[in-house]
Every structure is written in structure tokens, then in C-alpha cells.
Amino acid sequence: MSHLTSITKPVSRMTLEPGSTVTIPSINWQEFESILAELGEKRAARIAYSHRTLEIMVPLPEHEIPKEFISDFVKALLKAKGIRYQPFGSTTFKQEGAAGVEPDACFYIQNYQQMIGRRRLQPNDPPPDLAIQSDVTSKTKLDAYQVIGVPEVWVYDRGKLKIHLLREGKYIRSDTSPTFPNVPITQIIPAAVERSWQVGHVQALEEFEGRLY
């Protein structure tokens, strides 16, 4: 009778090319925490975890460039409107035992004062007010964001921006952002991102900022 031998290798030994995505099912919370520690903080990969499933994604430039531009776009708009904020980049947000996610970019706005000077997230810290995802190699699953309680998530996917608002524990699609109620975000951002591909990040951002002042 033949016997199957289980072979276990560290996740950090996996070679993931830019643009690749790996999904690992049946991961419990302790295993998720161990994998996070093994991968370390200085890594290119992004992770998302919910319903005992872990997704690891390595972004392409096609993913990173829109993400950077939209993040700078938000900063410019917040500054123009005199709104204080605290950016938290791709910080790993977790709900103990249930979910973990790393947005491409995120911002504390309503709760920015509480997060000033914060070097490590504390158990009682609120979720960010706005999270941004750029979808190229994988599609954003909102489950983890829902568990963590992020009020507003923007998902940019190949020329379109979708705004998701958390209402009574579930996300609904919206044409407007409560953060910028009088700004046609879903129209402006895709046009501005496309412009950045044509003339570069700096010029496209300068052109946008020129229309704000």
C-alpha cells in the first residue's frame, strides 16, 4: 500500500512573478498570522483574507501607477477643500479571527486626529475612512473590508471607478462620494488617470490641481 507524504514549505519560498495571484483555501487565523509574519513587512505582495481564504497578489506597473495617481488626487482634493487627513498607505488592517486586508492606499479623515503619531495599529483603532483599490491582476473582494468596517471603498478597474459605501453592514454602489459630495469623482478620476498615461503623473496632477484653485 502506498502512502502519501505531506510536504510543507514556507510561503516565503514561493516565487511569484509580477501580475500573479495565488489563492490558498482553508487557512485558519493562526496560520494567517504566521504567513504574515513569514512574508514580512518589506514585500511587494498584497494580501487579503476572509472566510478562511488567503489571496496573495504581486502587482504590475499597470496596477501601481493608477493607484499612486488616485492617492495623490485624493490628497490634492482634500487639501483644496481644507480637510485634514492622515494617509496610511497599504497598512495591514485586521479583524481578529475573521479578516485581514491591505488596501492599495487609505486615508483617515473623520478620525485623523486619533491616528496622528500612530506607528502601530492598536486593537481599538477605527478602520480608515476611505480605502482605494486598483484592480488589474485580481478583482477586489469586499468581504474583508466589510468585516473590518471600512465606510468607503473606491475600486478602479480599467478605466472605471466604482464607489462602495458601507450601509447597515453591507456595501452598496454609489455614484457619489460622501467624502466629496459635490465632486463627480466617478467621472473625473478615470479621465485624470488616462491623462496621466498620456502626459505623465506630474503634469496630469498639475493640470488637475490647476482646476482646483
Q: What is the pLDDT of residues 72-88, one digit of tens each?
A: 999 999 999 999 999 99
pTM of the model: 0.87
Per-residue model confidence (pLDDT) at position 12: 54
CATH number of 61-212: 3.90.1570.10
Strand partners, 211: none
Model confidence over 90-118: pLDDT tens digits? 999 999 999 999 999 999 999 999 999 99
What is residue 94's predicted lDDT score, i.e. its pLDDT? 95
pLDDT of residue 189: 94
Name residues of the chain where pLDDT drops below 50.
1, 4-9
Q: Going along the chain, which residue ranges are E strands?
A: 21-24, 46-50, 53-57, 86-87, 93-95, 99-101, 105-108, 130-135, 152-157, 160-167, 170-174
The predicted structure's pLDDT at residue 9: 47
- Angle among Cα 27, 32, 35 to the nearest 5 degrees reads 115
What pLDDT score does 136 carry?
60
In this prediction, residue 7 carries a pLDDT of 41
- pLDDT for 44: 75
Instruction: Give the per-residue pLDDT at 11.
Output: 62
What DSSP state is assigned to residue 180?
B
